Chains A and B, each alone.
Chain A
Amino acid sequence: GAGVSQSPSNKVTEKGKDVELRCDPISGHTALYWYRQSLGQGLEFLIYFQGNSAPDKSGLPSDRFSAERTGGSVSTLTIQRTQQEDSAVYLCASSPRPSGATDTQYFGPGTRLTVL
């Protein structure tokens, strides 16, 4: 079946512009995560969605970052007034079950964001 997809694969924007990154999780997966991967850094947790529960936004680095998940499926990560330090690869992952820390996360290919 289809894996996690993300679009666009690459995004170049100018400082100060807003960007939207999209994630389509695997059908039926209830959990969805956003991570940021910067050069030389690990994966930085950004936000977690689980079903209809309130999302865990504890990893969002500033109020310029926001995310939503519509209908329990597609998710959009929005970065407002982008800064050069926002340049990174943004990864989305989904997993099948609502609980259990042993569930495998399935990652998308990522969106490489470059802020000029």
Chain B
Amino acid sequence: AQSVTQLGSHVSVSEGALVLLRCNYSSSVPPYLFWYVQYPNQGLQLLLKYTSAATLVKGINGFEAEFKKSETSFHLTKPSAHMSDAAEYFCAVSDGGGYQKVTFGTGTKLQVIP
């Protein structure tokens, strides 16, 4: 069975500071990994995804994530936080399994302090 653990349900950073949101996964087969973002009062949208190509994945809005098999991690980073980055971020994993059953983490709310 696949699972995802997001460390920290709430993260606060100052505007301009590094954003680091942690995600560790468990999967019995090589995983596909995703980060989704949910802005206030909006639906989820894809930030980036890892599909067994390059281990460093770049997404929208300056975010990137690195797949580290040895650490079973897929942490999300952004060098400099912007006020507009305040949102809830969800890490997700899929094992392929013939179709796209995706398991989501519990989410991390990012607060950006001016």
* Chain A interface residues (CB < 8 Å from chain B): 3-4, 31, 33, 35, 40-43, 45, 48, 50, 56, 91, 93, 95, 98-110
Interface size on B, residues (CB 8 A): 29
**Is A109 within 8 A of B102, CB to CB?**
no
Q: Which residue of A lies closest to B31 (CB)?
A: A101
Q: Which of B1-43 contact A (CB under 8 A)?
A: 4, 6, 9, 32, 36, 41-43
A48 CA to B102 CA in the complex, in Å?
Answer: 10
Inter-subunit contact B43/A102 (CB<8 Å): no
B100 near A101: Cβ-Cβ < 8 Å: yes
Q: Are A43 and B90 in contact (CB-based, < 8 A)?
A: yes
Quick check: B32 and A102 within 8 Å, CB to CB?
A: yes
* Proximity string of chain B (39-61) to chain A, C-beta cutoff 8 Å, 1 when within and 0 when not: 00111111001010000000000
B101 at the interface (CB under 8 A from A): yes
CA of A100 to CA of B100, assembled, Å:
6
Q: How far is the CB of A91 from chain B (nearest CB, A)?
A: 7
Q: Are B90 and A42 in contact (CB under 8 A)?
A: yes
Number of A-B pairs whose CB atoms are under 8 Å? 68
Q: Please, how many angstroms separate the alpha-carbon atoms of A56 and B105 in the complex?
A: 20
Complex Cα distance, B36 from A43, in Å, reads 11
| Contact across chains for A56 and B101 when beta carbons are under 8 A apart | yes
| A109 lies within 8 A of B100 (CB) | no
Query: With A42-B6, A48-B101 given, can you name 20 additional A-B contacts, CB distance below 8 Å?
Result: A43-B44, A43-B104, A45-B103, A45-B104, A48-B99, A50-B99, A56-B99, A99-B99, A99-B100, A101-B94, A101-B95, A102-B32, A102-B49, A104-B49, A105-B46, A105-B102, A106-B45, A107-B44, A108-B43, A110-B43
